[in-house]
Amino acid sequence: MSGDVQPDEPAGGGWVAVTLLADSTHAETLSDALLDAGALSVDIEDADAGTPDEIPQFGEPGLPVAVELWPHSRLHALFERDADLASAMAEAAEAAGLTSPPPYTTSQLDEQNWVRITQAQFEPIRVSSRLWIVPSWHALPDPAAINIILDPGMAFGTGSHPTTRLCLEWLDAQVSGGETVIDYGCGSGILALAAAKLGAARVTGTDIDPHALDAARYNAQRNDATLDLLHSRDNIDHQADIVVANILANPLTVLAPLLCGLTRAGGRIALSGILAAQTAMVREAYSPAFDLAVSGERDGWVLLTGTRA
* DSSP string for 181-248: EEEES-TTSHHHHHHHHHT-SEEEEEES-HHHHHHHHHHHHHTT---EEEETTSPP-S-EEEEEEES-
Q: Are residues 104 and 128 in the same domain?
A: no
Kindly state whether residue 142 falls inside one of the protein's structural domains: yes
The pTM assigned to this predicted structure is: 0.65
| End-of-domain residue from the set 111, 128, 163 | 111
Rg (CA), the chain: 22
Q: Where are the alpha helices (DSSP H) in the chain?
A: 27-36, 85-95, 114-120, 162-174, 190-198, 210-222, 249-254, 256-262, 279-286
212 with 278, same domain: the answer is yes
Asked if residue 67 belongs to a domain, the reply is: yes
Residue type, 148: I
Residue 277 covered by a domain: yes
DSSP, res 261: H
Per residue in 129-170, pLDDT (tens digit) is 999 999 888 889 999 999 999 875 544 566 778 999 999 999
**Together in a domain, 144 and 247:** yes
| The predicted structure's pLDDT at residue 221 | 95
- Report the SS3 class of residue 275: strand
Does residue 9 form part of some domain?
Answer: no
How far apart are the C-alpha atoms of 182 and 169, rounded to whole Å? 16
- 57 plus 184 within the same structural domain: no
Residue pair 75/21 in contact by the 8 Å Cβ criterion:
yes
Question: Are 161 and 253 contained in the same domain?
Answer: yes
pLDDT at 301: 95
What is residue 219's predicted lDDT score, i.e. its pLDDT? Answer: 92
pLDDT digit string (tens) for 248-305? Answer: 999 999 999 999 999 999 999 999 999 999 999 999 999 989 999 999 999 999 999 9
Alpha-carbon distance values, 263 to 146, 248, 267, 290, 295 (Å): 26, 19, 6, 10, 18
Amino acid 14: pLDDT = 76
Residues 76 and 179 in one domain: no
Structural domain contains residue 5: no
Residues 6+ positions from 301 with CB-CB distance below 8 Å: 162, 163, 166, 272, 273, 274, 275, 276
- pLDDT on residue 298: 93
User: What's the total number of domains in the chain?
Assistant: 2
| Arithmetic mean of pLDDT over the chain | 86
Res. 96: pLDDT tops 80? yes
Residue 222 belongs to some domain of the structure:
yes
Tens digits of residue pLDDT in 220-230: 999 999 999 99
Are 95 and 20 contained in the same domain?
A: yes
In a domain, 6, yes or no: no
> At 36, is the secondary structure helix, strand, or coil?
helix
For position 151, which CATH number holds?
Answer: 3.40.50.150
Residue 8 lies in a domain: no
Find out whether 73 and 27 touch, Cβ atoms under 8 Å.
yes
> Which of 111, 146, 173 marks a domain boundary?
111
Using DSSP, how many helices (H) and how many strands (E) does the chain show?
9, 14
Residues 233 and 256 in one domain: yes
- Predicted pLDDT at 150: 85
Residues 163 and 102 in one domain: no
* Residue 87 structural domain: 15-111
Percent of residues, the chain, with pLDDT higher than 70: 83
Mean pLDDT of 64-80: 75
Q: Which one has a higher pLDDT value, 195 or 72?
A: 195
Does residue 34 sit in the same domain as residue 150? Answer: no
Burial class (CB in 10 A: 0-12, 13-18, 19+), 49: middle
Same domain? For 173 and 302 the reply is yes
Q: What is the pLDDT of residue 7?
A: 41
Do 153 and 276 belong together in one domain?
Answer: yes
**Domain stop point among 111, 130, 164:** 111
Domain containing residue 99: CATH number: 3.30.70.120
Better-scored residue on pLDDT, 261 or 43: 261
Does residue 101 carry a pLDDT above 60?
A: yes
Across 3-7, 30-34, 300-304, least confident range: 3-7
